[in-house]
């Protein structure tokens, strides 16, 4: 298993295919293998790089809780790209990884040719309840271990869609989750997810973004729907794709649709056909067939 020594930790990574780099950053409930449907598809066209964040074996799991923050995860990714000799890439992420990808695009726009932000924004809504729930989850990791959490999380309201649609992929997700580190998971929850800025808090930075961005969300992923719409409204060079009857793990629930939408987006960017809205187009107005305006 290849590993890169970056930012004080060893990160596991995998490279598949040849061509322009496509880097995929994984969610809290998964790891680099969560992207298998995408790796198999996109490696036909791109050099696909997947990796495990710190805290997710076989990447290092630092014992010190202060070693975990969103800034550290963004820097881990930055140094990994330099380790691999990548000067610019397409960058995608889902959930935890979507936050990392988005904030990487904000911090290092010159490194990102296009950005895919999927199922991102948990914790932006109903903040008080979110903080209580995640602290309880962190304690559950520490007291009961990964197995108890996996059983609960894999059947949560935004995960049951995968079980309904594709029981085999759900079983693989569940077994994959059981390989996680309880220590690393608790530290990620407290140090990264609970402390990162909400999507709404990023508004000034989102308005300044000029990296082409595709925002993707399932219509049953309630914590992420409003943040997705907010990103669409504030990133001038963005588009929004909403997946019907879909929850959080849309790359696993609807891999064919997910892959086609992303490929169409990247093809549009490559052809310089991805639109950037002008300021007057951002305003909400209704135009009627006779040319009048509401």
Share of the chain above pLDDT 90, in %: 93
- Are residues 281 and 267 in contact, defined by beta-carbon separation less than 8 angstroms? no
- In-domain check, residue 199: yes
pLDDT of residue 277: 85
pLDDT in tens, 157-209: 999 999 999 999 999 999 999 999 999 999 999 999 999 999 999 999 999 99
Domain that holds residue 55: 3-278
pLDDT tens for each residue of 88-105:
999 999 999 999 999 999
Supply the DSSP symbol for 43. Answer: T
Is residue 165 one of the residues assigned to a domain?
Answer: yes
pLDDT tens by residue, 129-138:
999 999 999 9
Q: How many helices (H) and strands (E) does the chain have?
A: 13, 8
Q: What is the pLDDT of residue 283?
A: 46
**Residue of 90, 78, 86, 101 whose CA lies nearest to 26:** 101
- Alpha carbon of 281 to those of 18, 216, 274, 277, 294: distances in Å? 39, 21, 15, 6, 14
Residue 49 maps to which CATH number?
3.40.50.1820
* Residue 152 domain flag: yes
Residue listed under structure tokens 């029981």: 167
The pTM assigned to this predicted structure is: 0.93
Domain assignment of residue 65, yes or no: yes
Say which DSSP state 190 is in: I
Asked whether residue 149 carries a pLDDT value surpassing 70, the answer given is: yes
pLDDT over 70 for what percent of the chain?
94
Max Cα-Cα span within the chain: 66
What's the domain count of the chain?
1
Contact by Cβ (8 Å): 35, 83: no
User: Model confidence over 65-83: pLDDT tens digits?
Assistant: 999 999 999 999 999 999 9
CA dist., res. 136 & res. 214, Å (int): 33
Tell me the two tokens of residue 102.
């988005």
> pLDDT tens digits, residue range 234-278?
999 999 999 999 999 999 999 999 999 999 999 999 999 999 986
pLDDT value for 231: 98
- Residue 283 located in a structural domain: no
Residue 1 has pLDDT above 90, yes or no: no
165 close to 253: Cβ distance less than 8 angstroms:
yes
Tell me the pLDDT band of 122, cut-offs 50, 70 and 90: very high
The answer to whether position 240 is within a domain reads: yes
Q: Is residue 273 part of a domain?
A: yes
Tokens linked to 38: 């995408």
Q: Is residue 285 part of a domain?
A: no
């Amino acid at each position: 298993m290849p590993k890169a020594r970056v930012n004080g930790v060893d990160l596991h990574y995998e490279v598949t295919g040849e061509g322009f780099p496509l880097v995929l950053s994984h969610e809290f409930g998964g790891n680099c293998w969560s992207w298998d449907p995408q790796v198999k598809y996109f490696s036909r066209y791109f050099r696909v790089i997947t990796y495990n964040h710190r805290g997710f074996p076989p990447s290092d799991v630092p014992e010190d809780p202060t070693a975990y923050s969103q800034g550290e995860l963004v820097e881990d990714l930055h140094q990994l790209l330099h380790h691999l000799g990548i000067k610019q890439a397409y960058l995608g992420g889902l959930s935890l990884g979507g936050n990392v990808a988005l904030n990487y695009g904000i911090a290092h726009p010159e490194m990102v040719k296009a950005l895919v932000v999927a199922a991102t924004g948990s914790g932006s809504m109903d903040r008080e309840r979110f903080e209580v729930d995640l602290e309880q989850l962190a304690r559950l990791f520490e007291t009961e271990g990964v197995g108890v959490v996996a059983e609960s999380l894999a059947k949560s309201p935004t995960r049951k869609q995968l079980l309904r649609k594709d029981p085999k992929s759900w079983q693989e997700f569940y077994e994959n989750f059981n390989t996680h580190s309880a220590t690393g998971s608790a530290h990620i929850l407290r140090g990264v997810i609970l402390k990162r800025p909400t999507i709404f808090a990023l508004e000034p930075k989102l308005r300044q973004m000029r990296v082409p961005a595709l925002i993707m969300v399932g219509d049953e992923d309630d914590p992420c729907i409003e943040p997705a719409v907010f990103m669409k409204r504030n990133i001038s060079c963005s588009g929004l794709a909403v997946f019907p009857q879909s929850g959080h793990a849309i790359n696993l629930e609807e891999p064919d649709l997910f892959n086609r939408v992303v490929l169409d987006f990247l093809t549009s960017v490559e052809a310089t056909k991805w639109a950037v809205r002008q300021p007057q187009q951002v305003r909400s107005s209704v135009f009627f067939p006779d040319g009048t305006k509401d």
